[in-house]
């Protein structure tokens, strides 16, 4: 039960073994790397343990009771995932290993069947490598042209540039919902309308938004969405692809083998119905079940409450970081009206981000440093590396104060010893 008199961190930290002081007294970590992967609540860990301890069986194939229990839990997780994003049907949810595999599935299956020479694929310079490389591969194979939308000086998508580059040869626009580096939230409804006006599809990488705000694929008017369990408090090794059923029906299988077939003969095979056509082999059963528990956990808190709390945290983080000399934050300034990501990516004049991250780690503060799988974006900004502090509903204002205090101390230490 959520208590309106307490902030979300006060109410939820006890659910996570890493943050629960009663179970983890000797290792009090300040974890500010939620954009890379989220921590897992005990109920998700227990769901995994329960499956592997008492219900471990393969799904869909067995007539015995363990298989029936496993299948029911696995398909319940699919239903939960569909409801989480307001899919028309659970048949539109394809379990994958991660969001990267989901995007590869679209590029290889839909792309191989629909893209031809001189067609165009429209991406952005802010994309994670997982939404660049698959399209580069299929574009080269099919002879397509890949175009990239730039960003504004404020670190937001340049919508005018997008409008100038979309045309009647554009077949798909694939872009991130919230940038894992800039933190900007892209205007997906407007982009979807532009895509559909020229007969193009739109694919959304929602890894940085699914755990932070409500997502409704129908109101967004998109065609595909890629999501990852480990970014939404679920286990690693499982993710999902959502696609409109009428589009998925036309797409050939991505992988061949067991589970995805209807009948197999020596010289040919026929495919199973959705969603199984795209789920070859034994899936990550326990992990998918755990993802379902994670989604239920987020729903119990409330995505609207999460978004509201994280907005206040992000504004506070920016206000504190902006007081540090020679520190520059990438991306737009947070405000009440935006759906900006709960993160701050920054660089400090004359200091490498890896040095900052390593020194903070000695104080138990975990942030990310490097290019965040966004090398083209960093090159376009003239940067080799940045540091990133990313928040969640378990983050506290006190943690931000400690981060900034240690940042200042480390900057002074580096300058005195350089």
412 contact partners, CB below 8 Å, separation of at least 6: none
CB neighbourhood size of 371 (10 A): 17
User: Residue 91, class by beta-carbon neighbours within 10 Å (0-12 exposed, 13-18 middle, 19+ buried)?
Assistant: middle
Is the distance from CB of 242 to CB of 225 less than 8 angstroms?
yes
Spatial CA neighbour of 236 closest among 14, 32, 44, 15: 44
User: Which residues are part of the catalytic machinery?
Assistant: 373
What is the b/e burial string over 376-402, where b = at least 16 CB atoms within 10 angstroms of the residue's CB? bbbeebebebbbbbbbbbbbbeebbeb
Structural element, H or E, at residue 247:
helix 245-250
User: Residue 184, class by beta-carbon neighbours within 10 Å (0-12 exposed, 13-18 middle, 19+ buried)?
Assistant: buried
Is the distance from CB of 179 to CB of 341 less than 8 angstroms?
yes
Q: Kindly report the backbone phi and psi dihedral angles of residue 100, in degrees, each rounded to the nearest multiple of 5, phi listed first.
A: -60, -45
Is the distance from CB of 353 to CB of 386 less than 8 angstroms?
yes
Is the distance from CB of 59 to CB of 394 less than 8 angstroms?
no
How far apart (Å, rounded) are the C-alpha atoms in residues 45 and 286?
Answer: 10
Q: What is the CA radius of gyration of the chain?
A: 22
How far apart (Å, rounded) are the C-alpha atoms in residues 235 and 347?
Answer: 31
CB neighbourhood size of 265 (10 A): 7
Counting every residue written for the chain, the total comes to 418
């Amino acid at each position: 039960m959520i208590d309106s008199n307490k902030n979300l961190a006060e109410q939820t930290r006890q659910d996570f073994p890493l943050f629960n002081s009663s179970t983890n007294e000797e290792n009090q970590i300040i974890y500010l790397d939620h954009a890379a992967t989220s921590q897992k609540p005990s109920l998700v860990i227990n769901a995994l343990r329960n499956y592997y301890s008492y219900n471990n069986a393969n799904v869909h194939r067995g007539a015995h009771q363990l298989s029936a229990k496993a299948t029911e839990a696995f398909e319940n997780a699919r239903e939960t995932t569909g409801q989480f994003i307001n899919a028309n049907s659970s048949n539109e949810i394809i379990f994958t290993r991660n969001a990267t595999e989901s995007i590869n599935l679209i590029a290889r299956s839909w792309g191989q069947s629909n893209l031809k020479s001189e067609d165009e694929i429209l991406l952005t310079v802010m994309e994670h490598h997982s939404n660049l490389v698959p399209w580069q591969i299929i574009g080269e194979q099919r002879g397509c042209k890949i175009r990239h939308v730039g960003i504004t000086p404020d670190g937001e998508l340049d919508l005018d540039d997008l409008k100038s580059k979309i045309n009647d040869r554009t077949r798909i626009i694939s872009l991130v919902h919230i940038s894992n580096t800039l933190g900007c939230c892209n205007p997906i409804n407007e982009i979807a309308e532009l895509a559909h006006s020229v007969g193009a599809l739109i694919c959304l990488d929602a890894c940085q938004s699914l755990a932070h705000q409500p997502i409704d694929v129908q109101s967004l008017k998109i065609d595909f969405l890629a999501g990852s369990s480990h970014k939404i408090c679920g286990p690693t090794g499982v993710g999902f692809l959502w696609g409109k059923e009428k589009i998925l029906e036309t797409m050939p299988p991505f992988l061949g083998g067991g589970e995805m077939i209807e009948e197999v003969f020596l010289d040919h095979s026929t495919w199973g119905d959705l969603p199984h056509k795209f789920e070859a082999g034994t899936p990550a059963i326990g992990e998918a079940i755990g993802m379902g528990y994670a989604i239920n956990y987020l729903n119990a808190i409330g995505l609207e409450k999460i978004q509201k709390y994280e907005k206040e945290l992000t504004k506070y983080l920016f206000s504190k970081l902006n007081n540090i000399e020679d520190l520059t934050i990438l991306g737009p300034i947070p405000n009440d009206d935006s759906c900006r990501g709960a993160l701050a990516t920054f660089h400090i004049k004359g200091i490498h981000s890896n040095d900052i991250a390593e020194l903070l780690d000695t104080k138990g503060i975990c942030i990310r440093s490097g290019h965040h799988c966004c090398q083209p974006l960093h090159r376009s900004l003239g940067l080799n590396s940045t540091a990133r502090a990313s928040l969640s509903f378990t983050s506290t204002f006190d943690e931000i104060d400690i981060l900034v205090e240690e940042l200042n101390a480390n900057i002074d230490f580096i300058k005195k010893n350089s």
